[in-house]
Amino acid sequence: MGETTRARFDDDVVIEASGLERTFGEVVAVDGIDLAVTRGEVFGFLGPNGAGKSTTVRMLTTLLRPTGGTARIDGHDVEKSAAAVRRIIGVALQDASIDPLMTGNELIRLQAVLHGISRSESRSRGAELLARVGLAGAAGRRVATYSGGMRRRLDLALSLVHEPSILFLDEPSAGLDPTSRLALWEEVRRLNSELGTTVFLTTQYLEEADELAGRIAIIDRGRLVREGSPEDLKSMVGSPTLRVDVDPVFLESARRVLVGFGPERPAREGRLAIGLDEGATRVAEVVRALDDAGVTVSHLELDAPSLDDVFADATGRRLEGAEK
Amino acid sequence: MTCSPTRLAVALRELKSERPTVSAGAATGLRLARVQTLALTRRSVISEWRQLGNVIPGIVFPLLLAAVYTHQFTRVILLPGFPVVDSFLDFVLPASLVQSVSFGATEAGTELARDIENGFFDRLRVSPCTRLPLLLGRLGGAVVVAAAKGVLIIAIFLLFGAEIAGGPAAAVVLVAAAVLLVIAIGGLGQVLAIITGSQEAVNATFPLVFTSIFMSSAFFPTNLMSGWFREVAEANPVTWIIDPVRRLILDGWSWSDAGQALAVPLVISVVTVTMAVVALNRKLGSS
C-alpha cells in the first residue's frame, strides 16, 4: 500500500531535479539543486538577478546541458529525451525574444507548424490565443511595432500554441506596466485553474511569487535556500519586523536599544530592523526606550513577515528592488 | 518455458501491428521535418522580402561592373589565349551572377546570428524541431533570392545582347549552380554564426568571399595569368564553378560541364551544412 502511494506521488511529480548543476568555467551558476514540482502546481522560483534562475530554466527546458545531476520533465530526462520534453512544455523566456520582421499571426502559425499542428487547426487556435492575450487587433502587424508588453503577451501566446501541460515562464512580468502585469497574472491563474497547466515561474518580484505561487523555492548564488508555501515560509521567519530610520549619528545607540527587544535583521543603509515578538503591543515600549536613549526617530514601521524577510532570513541580504 | 498457440498468435499479431507503427513513426518524423523546413523557409523568404532594400546593391553593383568591364575590355578579348567571344559580356556573365548571389550569400549566416543574438533561436530550439530544418530553413530565403537574382541577371544580359550557346538548359544550370553556391557560402556563414553568435563576425567574412571571386577566373581566364596569382586562381573553388559554367555559355551544352558546375558547389554545400550541424550540436552540448 505504501509503495502504491509513493508510486502515485512520483507519477505526479512532473518537474524533478536531483543535484542539478551547471558551471561555466570556474563559475558555478547552479550548485546542485533538488526540485520536485507536482502536476497542477504553480511553482515560484524566486531569487535576485544572477542567482541561477534562468540557468535552471534553460536546463529544465533542454536549452542547456547540465554539467551535473539530472532533471526529468514528466518522466523524460532533459538530456536523453529532449525531444519528448519539448513536445510537452511551453516556454516563455526572459526578454520575449521574437523576430521583429514577422507579424503575430505569422509567428503563431510558424510555432504551430513546428509542433506538427495542422494549418486549419493552427489558424483557429492562433486566433483564439491572440484574442485571449488581447492581440487580435495587432495580429497582422509586424512585431517591430509592438510595445514591450505586447511582445510579452505574444510570447506567452506562442508558448501556448501546442497546449502544453507544463509551462515555464522566465521572469514573465519583467518590464511590464502594472496593468499588463495584472492581466498576465490573471492568465496564468486561468491556465492553472481551468486547464490544470503546471506552471514553473521564475521571478525576482516578491509580490508576483506571493500572488501566483502555491509553493516557492528561493534560490541564491546557485543554491536553494528555502522551499515551501509562501505562508509556511513567512511563518518560519517568525515575528514581525520593526524597521526604524534614524539619523546616522544615532545609529549605534539605536542599535543598542533595539537589540534588547529582538534579533537584528538585515536592512538597507540608514535603517535598522529587528524581529519584534508580540508585534504592535510592544512598539510603544520600543519608542519610549529609544526616546530615553536620546535617539531621534525619523520613520518607524512594523511589518508582518514578507517573502523578502524570508529571503533576508535565509541569505542575510535583501532582494534587489525590495524597498525594505 | 512453453508458449501456447494462442499466446504465440497474439505475440505475432502484436509484432505485426508494431512494424507499421515504427515505419509510420519514421515517415511522420520525415514529413514533419519537411513541413518544418518549408515553414522556416517561408519565414526566411518573408524576412528577405521585408528587407528587399538589402538585395538591390547585389544586383546593381555586378551589373555596373559588367557594363564598365565590357566597355573597357573590348580589346582584351582579342588577346591570344582568350576564349573566342563576340563580346566581353558573354565572358563576364557567370562572374556577374556569382558576384550578385555572393552579396546575399552570407545573409543566411547573418540572419541566423540575428536569431541567436535576439534569442529567437532559443524559441525555435525549444520546439520539437530537429537541427537540420532549423539550419536549412534559414538558408531558404537566401536560396529564393539567389534564384530570383539569377533569372534577373541572365534576362538583363540577354537583353543587352549576351548569348548562351548551351541554350535554356545551360541557363538553368547557371541558376542552379548559383543557388548551390549560396547554400555553400551560407552554410559557412551559419558555422560562424553558431560559433560566434555575432552578426558582425559573419558580416566580416563578406570581403573574403568578395575577394575570392576576384582571385578566380571570374574576370580573366587563368591561362592568361602568371605566377602565384594563377596558382591561387586555379586552386580557387570559384574557378572550378565558373569555368564549366562559362564553357556552357560560350561553347554549348555539355553534360560533363553541367555536372562539374553543379557538383562542385553541391559538395561544398554538403560540407558546410554538415559543418553547421556539427557546430550546432557542439554548441548545444557545451553552452
Measured in degrees and rounded to the nearest 5, phi and psi for residue A295 equal -90, 130
| Cβ–Cβ gap A95/B119 under 8 Å | yes
Tell me the C-alpha distance between A120 and A109, whole Å.
10
CATH code, A239-304? 3.30.70.100
Is the pLDDT at B114 greater than 60? The verdict is yes
Cross-chain CB nearest to B120 (options A64, A97, A106): A97
Amino acid in position A82: A
Confidence check: pLDDT of B116 > 90: no
d(CA A262, CA A305): 14
Contacts of B32 in chain A (CB under 8 A): 116
Find chain A residues with C-beta within 8 A of B36's C-beta: 113-114
CA distance B28 to chain A (A): 10
Over residues A42-70, the mean pLDDT reads 92
| pLDDT score of A287 more than 70 | yes
Helix segments in B3-87, DSSP class H? 5-50, 56-72
Domain borders along chain A are 2-227, 239-304
For the entire predicted model, the pTM comes to 0.77
Which range of A54-63, A276-285, B123-132 scores highest in mean pLDDT? It is: A54-63
Residues of chain A positioned with their CB less than 8 A from the CB of B46: 101-102, 106
Q: Is B27 a domain residue?
A: no
Residues B210, B211, B212, B215: is their CA dihedral positive or negative? positive
pLDDT reading at A2 higher than 90: no
Q: How far apart are CA B121 and CA B131, in angstroms?
A: 11
Tell me whether residues B126 and A61 touch, CB distance under 8 A: yes
DSSP string, A76-128: EETTTTHHHHHHHEEEE-TT----TTSBHHHHHHHHHHHTT--HHHHHHHHHH
Task: Quote the cell numbers at residue A23.
Answer: 558551471
Q: Which three cell numbers stand for residue B122?
A: 532559443
Other C-beta atoms lying within 10 Å of the C-beta of residue B221: 17
Query: Is B43 within 8 Å of A111 when comparing Cβ atoms?
Result: no
The residues, ordered by sequence, that sit 6+ positions from A299 with a Cβ below 8 Å of its Cβ are A243, A244, A245
pLDDT at B56 over 60: yes
pLDDT digits (tens, 9 = 90+) for A61-116: 999 999 999 999 999 999 999 889 999 999 998 776 788 899 999 999 999 999 98
Write the DSSP assignment of B152-209 as a string of letters: HHHHHHHHTT---TTHHHHHHHHHHHHHHHHHHHHHHHHHHHHHH--HHHHHTTHHHH
A2-227 is a CATH 1.25.40.390 domain = no
Task: Report how many domains make up chain B.
Answer: 1
Contact A110 B39 (CB under 8 A): yes
pLDDT score recorded for residue A96: 63
Give the HSE-up count for residue A246: Cα atoms under 13 Å, Cβ half-sphere: 25
B188 has pLDDT over 70: yes
Residue B28 located in a structural domain = no
Q: Are A239 and A276 in contact (CB under 8 A)?
A: yes
Read off the C-alpha cell for B123.
524559441
Spatial CA neighbour of A90 closest among A20, A155, A12, A44: A155
Amino acid at A47: G
Torsions phi, psi of A118, nearest 5?
-65, 160
Strand, helix or coil for residue A276: coil
* Residue A318 reports pLDDT greater than 50: yes
Asked whether residue B213 is domain-assigned, the answer is yes
Domain range for B112: 41-286
Q: Is residue B14 part of a domain?
A: no
Query: Is residue B230 assigned to a domain?
Result: yes
Amino acid B52: pLDDT: 82
Residue of A nearest to B114 (CA): A99
- Which has the closest alpha carbon to B87: B73, B107, B108? B73
One-letter amino acid identity for A88? I
Which residues in B lie closer than 8 A to residue A61 (C-beta atoms)? 126
For residue A49, the surrounding DSSP H or E stretch is none
User: Which chain A residue has the Cα nearest residue B125?
Assistant: A63
